[in-house]
Structure formats: C-alpha cells, structure tokens
Amino acid sequence: MHSYDVFTQYERNHWKLTDVDFSAVRKDLVQPEYVTIAKSAVMGESNVIAAVHGFLNEFVDDYDFSTFAVVWGNQEVQHHYMFKAWLDAIGEKVDDGAVAAMRAPYDPGTTPSATLATNIISELTVNHIYRRVAGAVEEPVLHDLLLKASRDEAAHAREFIHYCRQRLARHPEERASVLETLYVYTSDSRIKHPVGLFKSNLTELEDHETIDTAFELFLERVADGDELNDLQTKIRRVFGSIVEMDLSTNRKVRHALAEVIAA
C-alpha cells in the first residue's frame, strides 16, 4: 500500500514539535501581523478534524487512502498545535470556542476525485503562502515553523496528487468534476481556500481571525503584483499533469471541461 510508504517516510524524516525550543522566541521581533498570521493559521489548521472525518466517510471503500488520511491528519494537528504553542510563548490566546466550531465534517464532494482535487488546491495554496510569509518574518522561531509547515504541505500535495491520479485511472468519468473544482478555485482574482469557502460564515468566527484573514494580510503586506497569477499557474500546471490536458489559462480550463463533458 502506498500509505505504508508514506507512513514509514514520515516516521524516518519528520520533525517533532517537542524538539522546537519555544523559549527561544524573540518577543522583541514580534510584529502585530505575525500574531494575525499565527491565529489565522491555527484556525485554518484546526479544520483537520472535519476533513479527516469527511475523508473516512467518503472513502469508506478505500483503505489505502483512508490510512493516508489519518497520517496526514496527524501532521495537520501538529501544525495546529505548533502555531498555538508559538502564540502561547508570546502570551496570545486563541478562542477555543472558535476552534471547536470547525469540528463539523465536510459533506462529500461532487465525486471523490473532486474531493481530492480540492485538497490538492488547499495544500498547494498553503505551501506557497507559508513559504512566502516565512521570507518576510523576522522572528526566528515563527520563521522556522512556517518553513516546516510549507515543506509538509508540499509533501501532502504530492500524495493527494498520487491518490487523485489513482482514483481517475479507476473512475475516468470523474474527470469533469476535477476540472470543475479547478475552475471554482482559480477563476477570479481572489485566493480561495476550502476552509474559507465552507467555514468562514460560521457565527462563532465573527470577530475572530480566519484563514481568509491571513490571505488578505498576505496580499496586502507580502505578495508582489504577480503573486496570485503565479500561484494559479502552478495549480493549473499540476492539474494539467493529472488529467493530461493543457489547463494553462481559465479559457483552456473551460474548453477542457466542455470537451470532457461532451466525450
């Protein structure tokens, strides 16, 4: 099983939260926007429980992917707690009620392949933003945590890509749903993330940072003029490799979707 290879690789190479020296946090270098980023990341990463629950419900017939989902979930919980630990180190707290509101599982996607596609976009987006934000953060512990999380998200994206390819090989009729998912998340001038799309309207999140808060701050303080285009180009390139079609522009995504539906 592929999940066994992933599990053993993570066991050998993955970092441990207990090895991070949070006493080394440089409070004198902490900027207000760092706190906002960390609180937003805590909220985004707390969605892991809902996601794992949803995966196990939707992929009840796929032991291999379900096992990967549990391994993935452990690492995402680690991200949630690492940002929380950093906030604790500087005396900042996150509302537990807001975190608990993220618990409800996702409904199944239009197809299992669409669910996998959604998570590919999620991982690629957060990988990109964590890496770019790390470059702008001067506080060394948070800088290192962001880089660690970015590398983890890149590895997660690779595995979701694997399982999406595998799923489409067995169910080619789900290709249209993958293209639809790509279009939904890359068809306008905003950064879209599944957590923001499905959870940001919760009443418990009013007056609290969300993943969308971090994206807005990223675009305002860190991103350059071509940032969104660069991210979306990368995502389209990945999806093009999955379905073996040219998806380099939104126009081509629409044409590919029409072609697949008509076939």
The percent of residues in the chain predicted with pLDDT above 70, rounded, is 90
CB-count burial class (<10 Å; 0-12, 13-18, 19+) for 29: middle
Statement: residue 192 has pLDDT above 80: no
pLDDT, position 195: 61
For 17-66, write each residue's pLDDT tens digit: 999 999 999 999 999 999 999 999 998 898 899 999 999 999 999 999 99
Rg of the chain's alpha carbons, rounded to an integer?
Answer: 18
A 10 A CB-CB count for 57 gives 13
Among 13-22, 199-208, 222-231, the range scoring the smallest mean pLDDT is: 199-208
pLDDT at 209 over 90: no
Q: In order of start, what are the domains of the chain with their CATH numbers?
A: 28-262 (1.20.1260.10)
Of 69, 191, 208, residue with least CA distance to 132: 191
**pLDDT at residue 201, as a whole number:** 65
**First vs last Cα of the chain: how many Å apart?**
33
Q: What is the mean pLDDT of residues 236-242?
A: 97
Share of the chain above pLDDT 90, in %: 71
Instruction: Report the range of poorest mean pLDDT among 119-128, 192-201, 243-252.
Output: 192-201
**Residue 196 pLDDT > 60, yes or no?**
no
148 or 107, greater pLDDT:
148
More confident residue, 204 or 8: 8
What's the average model confidence in pLDDT over 192-206? 61
The pLDDT value given to residue 228: 83
Q: Full-prediction pTM beyond 0.85?
A: yes
Which amino acid type is present at position 171? H
Instruction: Please report which confidence band the pLDDT of residue 171 belongs to, taking 50, 70 and 90 as the band edges.
Output: very high
* Rounded distance between C-alpha atoms, residue 155 and residue 89, angstroms: 28
* Residue 63 token pair: 């032991």
pLDDT of residue 193: 64
- Helices and strands of the chain, counted as H and E runs: 12, 0
| pLDDT value of residue 19 | 94
Q: What is the mean pLDDT of residues 175-189?
A: 90
Q: What is the mean pLDDT of the chain?
A: 90
- Of residues 188 and 51, more confidence is placed in 51
